[in-house]
Amino acid sequence: MKIGIVVFPGSNCDHDAQHALSEILHTSAEFIWHQSPDLTGFDAVILPGGFAYGDYLRTGAIARFSPVMIAIARFVRCGGLVLGICNGFQILCEAGLLPGALMRNKGLRFVCRHLHIRVETTATPFTSAARPGQVLRVPIAHAEGNYVCDAATLAGLKHNNQIIFRYCTPDGRLNPATNPNGSLDAIAGICNRERNVMGMMPHPERAVEAALGSIDGLVVFRSLVQSLARQPAAAVS
């Protein structure tokens, strides 16, 4: 099993994702340069956090044109698992692989802190090892995490059970005060209709060791690894 971590110019959580996968979960994780046109040999792909191309124009707006994104779109069509974290989530939205968009935080400032998110569904390859309703303590670190979409899209997300994480209180209740960025419906993470692409603003790779203040992010990577073990993504290549 081999998981690829895409390195765009300006990605800066690539090493952290690799550390979580290889040092903590003992899973093979390799970097994929953004100009790589093919993903042969990879069973899943992570788009890590950072500031691809500096995010000067609009988050992800340039990164979506990197050659690797063509390969990723093909990978997704073939059922490959793709996880976008923070900037990765923004890029997946820009690339049209996930619906909606991420706008500037309601407070118009970068926010970095630990908070709580609730697992809204375990019926994805990224949350299958979690308990339904489980509350995870994970950090966010972004200036553009305010999820928006139109009413029809939101209805679709709800109807198809595509909302995966919502910001919540430590005991799992929804409360406007715990929404850190103004996201529609307190959305912290979603998946596509086919459930093989997930984007989330919080950083699970920063919550994989007690020394970092939380191990709650592990469940995302465990789910991914277990899902791959159950059904190898042979279809992809």
Partner 1 sequence: MSHAARTPSIVETAIKVTPEIVADHGMTPEEYARIRKILGREPNFTELGIFSVMWSEHCSYKSSRIHLKRLPTRAPQVLQGPGENAGVVDVGDGLAAVFKMESHNHPSYVEPFQGAATGVGGILRDVFTMGARPIAVLDSLRFGTITSDNGAAPEVVARNRRLVDGVVRGIAFYGNCFGVPTVGGEVEFEPSYAGNPLVNVLALGIAPKNQLFFARARGEGNPVIYVGAKTGRDGIHGASLLASAEFTEKSQEKRPNVQVGDPFLAKLLLEACLEAMATGAIVAIQDMGAAGLTSSSCEMASRGGVGIEIELDRVPQRETGMTAYEMMLSESQERMLLVAERGREAEVFHVFRKWGLDAVEIGRVTSDGMLRVEHHGQIDAQIPANALAEQAPVYQRPIAPPKPSLACDARVALSTAGADLTSNFRRLLTASAIASKRWIFEQYDHMVRTNTTVFPGAADAAVVRLKGTTRALALATDGKGRWCALDPRAGAMHAVAEAARNVAAVGARPWAATNCLNFGNPEKPEVMWQFSVAVDGMAEACRGLSIPITGGNVSFYNDTLGKSIDPTPIVGVLGVIENAAATLTMAFRNEGDAIVLLDGRADSTRATSSGPRERESLREFASSEYARTIAGIVGGAPPAADIPAELRLIEALVGLAADNILASAHDLSDGGIAVALAECGFASDGLTAEAAWHTDAPAELALFAETGARAVVSVPQPSLARLQTLAAQYKIAALVIGRVTRGYFQVSLNGVTIIRDHADSLREVWSGAIERAVLNEPAPKQT
Q: Return the H-helix or E-strand segment holding 4.
A: strand 2-7
CB of 54 to partner 1, least distance (A): 3
**Active-site pick, 13, 86, 149, 191:** 86
Q: Return the H-helix or E-strand segment holding 102.
A: strand 101-103
Q: Which is nearer to partner 1, 55 or 216 (CB)?
A: 55
Q: DSSP H helical segments within 10-64, as ranges? A: 14-18
Whether residue 143 contacts residue 105, with contact meaning beta carbons closer than 8 Å, is answered with yes
Taking the C-alpha atoms of residue 38 and residue 75, their distance in angstroms, rounded to an integer, is: 9
213 belongs to the binding site for partner 1 (CB under 8 A): yes
10 belongs to the binding site for partner 1 (CB under 8 A): yes
CB of 194 to partner 1, least distance (A): 31
Q: Which of 3, 4, 5, 50 binds partner 1 (CB under 8 A)?
A: 50
Stretch of 8-16, 75-83, 122-130, 192-200 lying at the interface with partner 1 (CB under 8 A): 8-16
CA-wise closest residue to 81 among 4, 22, 19: 4
206 belongs to the binding site for partner 1 (CB under 8 A): yes
86 is catalytic: yes
168 is catalytic: no
CB of 192 to partner 1, least distance (A): 27
Contacts with partner 1 in 143-202 (CB under 8 A)?
Answer: 143
Residues contacting 53, CB < 8 A, separation 6+: 8, 9, 10, 62, 63
Q: Which of 135, 141, 148, 215 binds partner 1 (CB under 8 A)?
A: 141
Phi first, then psi: what are they for 111, rounded to 5°?
-130, 125
Taking the C-alpha atoms of residue 20 and residue 32, their distance in angstroms, rounded to an integer, is: 17
74 belongs to the binding site for partner 1 (CB under 8 A): no
Taking the C-alpha atoms of residue 169 and residue 148, their distance in angstroms, rounded to an integer, is: 21
What is the pairing mode between strands 81-85 and 197-200? parallel
Q: Which of 152, 211, 230, 234 binds partner 1 (CB under 8 A)?
A: 211
137 belongs to the binding site for partner 1 (CB under 8 A): no
Q: Which of 110, 123, 229, 231 binds partner 1 (CB under 8 A)?
A: 110
113 belongs to the binding site for partner 1 (CB under 8 A): yes
How many C-beta atoms surround the C-beta of residue 1 within 10 A? Answer: 14
Q: Which of 5, 6, 20, 233 binds partner 1 (CB under 8 A)?
A: 20
Q: DSSP H helical segments within the chain, as ranges? A: 14-18, 67-77, 87-94, 151-159, 218-230
Interacting residue ranges for partner 1, rule: CB under 8 A:
9-10, 12-13, 15-16, 19-20, 23, 49-51, 53-56, 109-113, 139, 141, 143, 203, 205-206, 208-209, 211-213
- Catalytic residue annotation: 86, 203, 205
